[in-house]
Amino acid sequence: MNNQTTCQCTAETLAMASVPMQEWCEPFDLAAAIHNGTLFPCLNMNFFDAEDIPCPFCDKPALTKAAEQEKALIEICKIGFALNDLTLYLDTHPDCQNGINLMKDLLQQRLDALAEFAKNHYPLTQLSIVTGTPETKQYGWDEGPLPWDPFASCAAAKPNTP
């Protein structure tokens, strides 16, 4: 197994030869990655300066079950974003051991987050039907809101009205 810590790529490994070669740099934490729009600080270059625009989803206190659910969904989205960005990096740097190790770590984090969400709320994916509720040994896909229901995530927060 190759234990290289820096990635050795040539221009031939890039999808477009006119794109400068990206070297490995330590990634942002997940919250910073989704806020900055990239997993990699070395790619965080000004395009549209949105630093002072507040994020309505960041640093919300989890006071209710709906807020707790929303916080968990945001964390799953952060991990998914990092996985997508890392996939783009690995497309042009397939032998980068740092990238491969981070991919394995993020994939496990995503599986764990999906299983935890399924256990506490409802399954989000077909895989989390099994991983999220293994002790029940039952099919739980119908436990969550319908995907086309725009108010499904707000149902827990709404008072019951006749």
- pLDDT tens for each residue of 57-82: 555 554 577 788 889 999 999 999 99
Q: Which residue has the higher pLDDT, 101 or 25?
A: 101
Q: Looking at the whole model, is its pTM more than 0.75?
A: no
Rounded to an integer, the average pLDDT of 32-45 is: 82
State the pLDDT confidence band at 35, using cuts at 50, 70 and 90.
confident
Task: Specify the pLDDT at position 125.
Answer: 81
State the pLDDT at residue 154.
47
Q: Could you report the per-residue pLDDT of 102-127, keeping only the tens digit for each?
A: 999 999 999 999 988 888 888 888 77
Q: What is the pLDDT of residue 69?
A: 87
Give the pLDDT of residue 73: 92
What is the full DSSP assignment across the chain? ----SS----GGGSSSTTSPPPPP-PPPPHHHHHHHT-S-GGG---SS--TTSPPTTTT----SHHHHHHHHHHHHHHHHHHHHHHHHHHHH-TT-HHHHHHHHHHHHHHHHHHHHHHHHT--SSHHHHHHHSTTTTS--GGGS--TT-TTGGGTTTSPP--
State yes or no: pLDDT of 18 exceeds 60: no
| Per-domain boundaries in the chain | 22-154
